Structure 1
Amino acid sequence: MPRTPKNIPHDHWKLAMTRGIGPIEGRNLLEAFGGATQVLAASVAELAEVLRRGADEVRRNMDAVNVARELEEMDRESVCGMLPGDDDWPELLKTATPEPLALWVRGAFQEADRFSVAVVGSRICTAYGMEQADRFAGWLAQQGFTIVSGGARGIDAAAHRSALRHHGRTVVVLAGGVGRAYPPEHAPLFDSVVAAGGVLCSEFPTYHPSEGGLFPRRNRIISALSLGTLLIEARLNSGALITGRLAAESHGREVMAVPGRIDSPSSEGCHRAIREGWAALVTNVADVSQQLRSSSMLVAGAMAAQARVGTGDCIGVGASAGAGACIGAEANLLHEVKPTSGVLKLTPAMELVLQAARSMRSIDYDVLSQKTNLGIAEVMAAVTRLELSGIRLRNNG
Structure 2
Amino acid sequence: MGVLQGKTIVLGVCGGIAAYKAAALTSKLSQAGAVVRVIMTRSAVQFVAPLTFQTLSRHHVFVDTFDEKDPEVVSHIHLADSADLVLIAPATANTIGKLALGLGDDMLSTTLLATTAPVWVAPAMNVHMYAHPAVQLNMQTLRSRGVRFIEPGEGQLACGYVGKGRLAEPEEIFAAVEAFFQGETARLTGKRVLVTAGGTVERLDPVRYLTNDSSGKMGYAIAEEAARMGAVVTLVSGPSALPVPDGVGIFRVQSALDMREAVLARFEDSDLVIKAAAVADYRPAVVAEQKIKKKSDSLTLELIKNPDILQELGTRKTHQFVVGFAAETERLDEHALDKLKRKNCDLIVGNDVSQEGAGFGVDTNVVRFYDKNGLVQALPIQSKSDVARKLLELAGDRMSAAPEES
Tell me if TM exceeds 0.5.
Answer: no
**Whose Rg is larger?**
2
Give the structure with the higher percent helix.
1
| TM-score, normalised with respect to structure 1 | 0.31
Give the structure with the higher percent strand.
2
| TM-score, normalised with respect to structure 2 | 0.31
Higher relative contact order (CA 8 A, sep 6+): 1
